[in-house]
Amino acid sequence: MSGKTDFSGIVARMISLDESYRQCMALTRSHYENFPVASVLLPAGTRPAISVIYAFARVADDYSDEVEDYRQSLDLLAGWRELLYRSSREPVDHFVFRALHDVIVRYDLPVEWLDHLIMAFERDRDVVRHPSFSDLIVYSRLSANPVGRLLLWIHGYREERLLLRSDAICTALQLANFWQDIGVDREKGRIYVPMSELSAAGLSEDDLYSSADARHETLKRRLRSYTMGLFAGGRDLPGALRGRLSLEIALVLAGGIRILERSTMPGRSLTGRPVLSRFDWLALGGKVATRLWRFPGDPDPSDPLFREGLSVYSGKEGSRGEGESISSMMRS
The pLDDT, as a whole number, for residue 205 is 97
Specify if 327 maps to a domain: no
Specify if 5 maps to a domain: no
More confident residue, 324 or 229: 229
The pLDDT, as a whole number, for residue 11 is 46
Q: If you average pLDDT over every residue of the chain, what do you get?
A: 90
Checking if the pLDDT of 254 tops 50, the result is: yes
Do 140 and 105 belong together in one domain?
no
Give per-residue pLDDT as tens, 68-80.
Answer: 999 999 999 999 9
Do 142 and 118 belong together in one domain?
no
Do 87 and 175 belong together in one domain?
no
Do 240 and 260 belong together in one domain?
yes
Q: What average pLDDT does the segment 308-319 reach?
A: 79
Give per-residue pLDDT as tens, 132-154.
Answer: 999 999 999 999 999 999 999 99
Specify if 244 maps to a domain: yes
pTM of whole model > 0.85? yes
Q: What average pLDDT does the segment 7-27 reach?
A: 79
Q: What is the 3-state secondary structure (H, E, C) of the chain?
A: CCCCCCCCCCCCCCCCHHHHHHHHHHHHHHCCCCCCCCCCCCCCCCHHHHHHHHHHHHHHHHHHHCCCCHHHHHHHHHHHHHHHHHHCCCCCCCCCHHHHHHHHHHHCCCHHHHHHHHHHHHHHHHCCCCCCHHHHHHHHHHHCHHHHHHHHHHCCCCCHHHHHHHHHHHHHHHHHHHHHCHHHHHHCCCCCCCHHHHHHHCCCCCHHHCCCCHHHHHHHHHHHHHHHHHHHHCCCHHHHCCHHHHHHHHHHHHHHHHHHHHHCCCCCCCCCCCCCCHHHHHHHHHHHHCCCCCCCCCCCCCCHHHHHHHHCCCCCCCCCCHHHHHHHHHHC
Do 182 and 265 belong together in one domain?
yes
The pLDDT, as a whole number, for residue 12 is 52
Specify if 172 maps to a domain: yes
Structural domain boundaries, residue 165: 127-316
Specify if 192 maps to a domain: yes
The pLDDT, as a whole number, for residue 40 is 72
Do 210 and 236 belong together in one domain?
yes
Specify if 53 maps to a domain: yes
CATH at 58:
1.10.600.10
Specify if 43 maps to a domain: yes
The pLDDT, as a whole number, for residue 5 is 42
Give per-residue pLDDT as tens, 266-300.
Answer: 999 999 999 998 899 989 999 999 999 999 976 67
Checking if the pLDDT of 317 tops 80, the result is: no
The pLDDT, as a whole number, for residue 297 is 77
The pLDDT, as a whole number, for residue 39 is 72
Checking if the pLDDT of 7 tops 70, the result is: no
Last residue of a domain, one of 95, 126, 157: 126
